[in-house]
Amino acid sequence: MRIVSTVDEVRSQVKAWRKEGKSVGLVPTMGYLHEGHESLIRKAVAENDEVVVSIFVNPMQFGPTEDLASYPRDLEADSKLCESAGAALIFHPEPEEMYQEGFCSFVDMNGLTNALCGLSRPVHFRGVCTVVNKLFNIVMPDKAYFGEKDAQQLAVIRRMVKDLNMDITIVGCPIIREEDGLAKSSRNTYLSPESRQNAVILSKSIFLGKKLIEDGERNPEVVKKAMRELIMTKPGMDIDYVEIVDNNTMQSIDVIAGDILCAIAVRVSGEARLIDNFMLSV
Ligand code: PAF
């Protein structure tokens, strides 16, 4: 497995693979990889001849008060995980390689991004769309892999690929959880041991919401209220949102029907803002 830091190095490697008639998969990440990322890489390895993992903490998708500076980084551990999962290339650029002097072009979106995380993170999806677009143009993969934990991001990227006629298949992969249910996230490392214990209430509320709907509840307000109340039984919980939306448009619904996304974002003890969700076809 090679680790490269320039666009030119990625391009010439991918060109060589293409000459051999090989297919290429891309797993875009911000590093500090865990079993969730590993599942994406393993799926990509199973479905493509060669797999590129990008590791880039993208400054453009962080707001001014967010955790860009403290976002965890560990290239050595990441390389080990990528190699053992079967990736062929890590692309690990510096911000200056991705955003050269004078950079002023962006990919932006309306609608899908004006809900859920887009409300409290107004610049986030513009940064995600722009960097993912750049990574697609650099690697030109056949398939790209994203986790369902970032459900809104997945919907946004699917929409971008459709709207802008990108010839790339987007593959969504299921949420991977800790043994107690907490969704795996690089940001879980921000939690103190006590907050980590309390944070399990997020996944418990997700499982509760899912069960209520599976048992027949069709009023989103009833489900959201029950989930909120459960989350608030633990100290230090500051709910950003508990929402049930149409999984294609991200807009709120009055009745639970069709393809729905139930998503939550909660700040835990001021230490980490964590998200979780479930999707259902009702
Ligand atoms: O999901 C992430 O880690 C990031 O948002 C992504 C897709 C790698 C873009 O920076």
User: Within this chain, do residues 148 and 222 fall inside the same structural domain, yes or no?
Assistant: no
pLDDT at residue 72, rounded to an integer: 97
φ/ψ of 266, rounded to 5, equals -140, 130
Residue 188 CB–ligand 1 contact under 6 Å:
no
Long-range contacts of 82-86 (CB under 8 A, 24+ apart): 82/1, 82/33, 82/41, 82/53, 83/1, 85/38, 85/41, 85/42, 85/45, 86/41, 86/42, 86/45, 86/51
User: Within this chain, do residues 70 and 161 fall inside the same structural domain, yes or no?
Assistant: yes
Number of domains, the chain:
2
User: Within this chain, do residues 81 and 42 fall inside the same structural domain, yes or no?
Assistant: yes
Q: Which two three-digit tokens encode residue 94?
A: 């510096």
Q: Which residue has the tokens 């249910």?
A: 181
Closest residue by CA, ligand 1 atom 6? 29
Calculate mean pLDDT across residues 14-38: 98
User: Within this chain, do residues 22 and 56 fall inside the same structural domain, yes or no?
Assistant: yes
User: Domain range holding 28?
Assistant: 2-173
Residues 6+ apart with CB under 8 A from 200: 180, 181, 182
Substitution candidate for ligand 1 out of 150, 152, 168 with most atoms within 8 A of CB = 150
User: Within this chain, do residues 191 and 168 fall inside the same structural domain, yes or no?
Assistant: no
Q: Is residue 282 part of a domain?
A: no
Mean pLDDT score across all residues of the chain: 98
Q: Which of 173, 206, 235 is the C-terminal boundary of a domain?
A: 173
User: Within this chain, do residues 156 and 53 fall inside the same structural domain, yes or no?
Assistant: yes
Residue 41 pLDDT level (bands cut at 50, 70, 90):
very high
Calculate mean pLDDT across residues 9-23: 98
> How far is C-alpha 274 from the geometric centre of its chain's CA atoms?
12
Residue 210 pLDDT level (bands cut at 50, 70, 90):
very high
User: Within this chain, do residues 85 and 26 fall inside the same structural domain, yes or no?
Assistant: yes
User: Within this chain, do residues 151 and 213 fall inside the same structural domain, yes or no?
Assistant: no
In this prediction, what percent of the chain has a pLDDT beyond 90?
99
Q: Which atom of ligand 1 is nearest to the CA of 54?
A: 8
CATH label of the domain that carries residue 90? 3.40.50.620
Q: Is residue 180 part of a domain?
A: no
User: Within this chain, do residues 205 and 92 fall inside the same structural domain, yes or no?
Assistant: no
Q: Is residue 6 part of a domain?
A: yes
Q: Is residue 203 part of a domain?
A: yes
Query: pLDDT (tens digit, 9 = 90+) per residue, 228-261?
Result: 999 999 999 999 999 999 999 999 999 999 999 9
Closest residue by CA, ligand 1 atom 1? 29
Residue 53 CB–ligand 1 contact under 6 Å:
no
SS3 content of the chain, % helix, strand, coil (to 5): 40, 20, 40
User: Within this chain, do residues 58 and 120 fall inside the same structural domain, yes or no?
Assistant: yes
Q: Is residue 181 part of a domain?
A: no
Residue 276 CB–ligand 1 contact under 6 Å:
no
Q: Is 37 a catalytic residue?
A: yes
User: Within this chain, do residues 117 and 229 fall inside the same structural domain, yes or no?
Assistant: no
Substitution candidate for ligand 1 out of 27, 54, 121, 132 with most atoms within 8 A of CB = 132
User: Within this chain, do residues 132 and 7 fall inside the same structural domain, yes or no?
Assistant: yes
Query: pLDDT (tens digit, 9 = 90+) per residue, 72-112?
Result: 999 999 999 999 999 999 999 999 999 999 999 999 999 99
User: What is the value of pTM for the model shown?
Assistant: 0.97
Residue 61 CB–ligand 1 contact under 6 Å:
yes
Query: pLDDT (tens digit, 9 = 90+) per residue, 131-169?
Result: 999 999 999 999 999 999 999 999 999 999 999 999 999
Long-range contacts of 68-73 (CB under 8 A, 24+ apart): 70/190, 71/30, 71/32, 71/186, 72/31, 72/32, 72/186, 72/189, 73/31, 73/32
Substitution candidate for ligand 1 out of 61, 171, 274 with most atoms within 8 A of CB = 61
DSSP 133-182: HHHHHHH--SEEEEETTSHHHHHHHHHHHHHTT---EEEEEPPPB-TTSP
pLDDT at residue 38, rounded to an integer: 98
Residue 180 pLDDT level (bands cut at 50, 70, 90):
very high
Q: Is residue 178 part of a domain?
A: no
What end-to-end distance do the CA atoms of the chain give, in Å?
44
Residue 133 CB–ligand 1 contact under 6 Å:
no
Residue 58 CB–ligand 1 contact under 6 Å:
yes
Show the DSSP H helices in the chain as ranges: 7-19, 35-47, 75-85, 95-98, 117-120, 124-139, 151-163, 193-198, 200-214, 220-231
